[in-house]
Amino acid sequence: KLKSKTVFVCTSCENTSVKWEGQCRSCSAWNTIIEHSDAGRYGWLRKESFAAVHLADASSDDLPRMPLMSGEVNRVLGGGIVPGSLVLLAGDPGIGKSTLLLQLAAEVAKEHSCVFYVTGEESVSQVKMRADRLGIDGQNLYILTQTNVEDTLARLDEHLPALAVIDSIQTMYDPSLSSHPGNVSQIRECARRLLEWGKANNVPLILTGHVTKGGDIAGPRVLEHMVDVSLYMEGDAVSSWRLLRGVKNRFGSTNEVGVLEMTGSGLLDVSDPSESFLLDRPKGAMGSVVVPVLEGNRALLVEIQALTAPSTIPTPRRVATGYDAHRLLLVCSVAMRTCGMPLADYDVIVNVTGGLKIAEPAADLGVALAIASSFRSVPMPGDFAAVGEVGLSGEIRRAPQTERRVKEAARLGFRKCLVPGNTDDRACGPEALHYQRVDTLAQAINMCL
């Protein structure tokens, strides 16, 4: 009997069919059916039988980890890479994924006799050029330019490296599938086969994946359920800071964020991000406020700058870089209504320096103060930091983990911090920092400006 090589699986109900269809017969969803290789239907679990273990007797410390060169990368991984694990490093093109992985691979190669760097994006000489730039001599580091997953696995089998990097999963293809590389079914199938190989041989694998602007279906998102660790590399094309954020981690916390800096000789750990972010801060500048924001478990001090200028168009502009545009609109409207700032004829531009993107409302107070400072042409006192969410009636609302933020501000020499009025004493801690409670935005502006 002829065995079909591929099956078609609905991604929403897992129903399988022998041919592709636009609509799933089982759950009636449209465009959810993708091609799958038949071989992988039973997952990567080998056919060994395992005895059930009593959870009370199980130990959590039999997870050996291979520490990597970068302390910041280790922090996000949860202390190093776990053998046999599959790590996905996703990020915009050009953000520095290949650079980071080449550096990590070279560092692991110092301790192990074979490390693989598989690239489907660059030629060996391109990789060599980059390696020269990074000062990597290439001992024990093997470069394989290959996009065929079967050939890649054959080479991996042959050398059995201590670590393998696949750059990128989008360029890999499985010749048994008819679709093009980069297609969802190709990405999933290639990742599945690599996963299977990594688990079977206890070799850690790091895949890179490009994310595209706006959702992206065929990107690395489809792999998230499959990989053990999923990291995102973020940053601004014009700034040199790179944030490494864990979005999924089966071996550690996803609340960890690593901060790296892209330099002329590759990515370096930033040991004190707050200090680095504030290094270029002008003294006594108008429209500049320092805000302690939380990135995962970490409090980071960032500078928020604002500029107000008379508008030349009927609908004044509200432009935010690194801060949510809707929140800017909210903050401007609240400032107009509750503090009497006539911003209706002014353009308002807000910028978070260093290319950081602030997602939390706790930065609202800082943004509002920066706008007020620019509008009134009065600089904020230099040793002030501010934290709090602005509510629609002009009230300052509590921000999570105020204590951690205040501590970070105190550590960097800030002597005063504006905090929401209902922050309890305990949250502010016994630091050498004077905190000032504010209940409304108007009160905060009067206090500082």
Q: Which of 70, 98, 338, 374 binds ligand TYD (CB under 6 A)?
A: 98
Q: Which of 37, 74, 98, 443 binds Mg ion (CB under 5 A)?
A: 98
Binding mask 331-370 for ligand TYD (x = CB under 6 A): ----------------------------------------
Could you tell me which stretch among 94-102, 110-118, 245-253, 313-321 binds ligand TYD (CB under 6 A)?
94-102
Task: Give the shortest CB-368-to-ligand TYD separation in angstroms.
Answer: 36
Q: Which of 181, 204, 266, 355 binds ligand TYD (CB under 6 A)?
A: 266
Q: Which of 43, 64, 71, 93 binds ligand TYD (CB under 6 A)?
A: 93
* 274 belongs to the binding site for ligand TYD (CB under 6 A): no
* 262 belongs to the binding site for ligand TYD (CB under 6 A): yes
Nearer to Mg ion, 98 or 230 (CB): 98
* 134 belongs to the binding site for ligand TYD (CB under 6 A): yes
Q: Site size for ligand TYD, by CB under 6 A?
A: 15
* 221 belongs to the binding site for ligand TYD (CB under 6 A): no
* 130 belongs to the binding site for ligand TYD (CB under 6 A): yes
* 322 belongs to the binding site for ligand TYD (CB under 6 A): no
The item of Mg ion, ligand TYD, none sharing an interface with residue 95, based on CB under 5 to 8 Å by kind, is ligand TYD
* 95 belongs to the binding site for ligand TYD (CB under 6 A): yes
Residues 6+ away with beta carbon under 8 Å from 92: 210, 211, 213, 233, 234, 237
Pairing of strands 205-210, 86-91: parallel
* 220 belongs to the binding site for ligand TYD (CB under 6 A): no
Binding mask 37-76 for ligand TYD (x = CB under 6 A): ----------------------------------------
* 171 belongs to the binding site for Mg ion (CB under 5 A): no
The item of Mg ion, ligand TYD, none sharing an interface with residue 133, based on CB under 5 to 8 Å by kind, is ligand TYD
Nearer to ligand TYD, 59 or 263 (CB): 263
Q: Which of 22, 175, 264, 284 binds ligand TYD (CB under 6 A)?
A: 264
The footprint of ligand TYD (CB under 6 A) covers: 91, 93-99, 130, 133-134, 262, 264-266
